[in-house]
Amino acid sequence: MSDISQAYPYEENGYTLYSCATCPYAQRALRAFCIAQVPHKVVEIDLLNKPSWYHLVNPQLKVPTLRTPSGDLLIESLVIAEYVADQFPKARLLSLDALERAQLRLFIELFSTRISSVFYRVLRAADVDDQEMEKKKLLEGVREVSRELENQWERESGKGGPFWYGDRFAYAEVATVSFAGLFRVLDHYRGFQVPDTQEYKGFNKWFGAVVNHPGFTDVKPDDAALIASYKRFLP
């Protein structure tokens, strides 16, 4: 491994995160490190012009990838984020309670299937009618997420919000806020916004707290760069 590792950049005896500022998956891993306050080196990867050596880091040529101090390489954003949570428990990214962790995983899966996945369908829809149909599906997903947030805030671990773990920006936010941040892209290209009405109250309360927290703002890419990077997804 040592001979191969000489062919790509990394932090000796430290953490190296191969990332892309506008990639929501890469932002997950970076936020985990930032919230846990773990020193790390970021190597920015241009996804449209990947370095010739990147296949040595990740044969799938995706971001993020984490190189640990031992030289091991980890891929997949949630795997990396959970590794950080378990490796640095004092950061309290994850609960130690099995039921609470299960409830959190269900929330992340709900967010992924009902919001993150639908985002790309709204963006890629060529026909106006298809765009409107996908936007309705996305709003349905936001309503479901809103209800689940309100359910969580009634649990002891939710403590009334505004984050999943009450006043603590933690793993739930690390796993989801990158995609909520992409609503700025949909507003620009598709005129999509979440209404400020009662049925979206939970989501708007959560998102309003999220966008003003350093856990979001410190990793958030420039709006212009973010919007430009998603133009390639348009039909």
Nearest residue to 202 (alpha-carbon basis) of 157, 156, 155, 147: 147
Bridge partners of residue 66, in order along the sequence:
17, 74
> Counting beta carbons within 10 angstroms of the beta carbon of residue 88, is it exposed (0 to 12), middle (13 to 18) or buried (19 or more)?
middle
Of 17, 23, 45, 94, the active-site residue reads: 23
Query: Strand, coil or helix: what is 165?
Result: strand
23 belongs to the catalytic site? yes
DSSP 63-124: S-EEE-TTS-EEESHHHHHHHHHHH-GGG--S-S-HHHHHHHHHHHHHHIIIIIHHHHHHHH
Interior CA angle at 26 toward 22 and 30, to 5°? 105
What is the Cα–Cα distance from 127 to 29, expressed in whole angstroms?
35
Catalytic residue ranges: 23
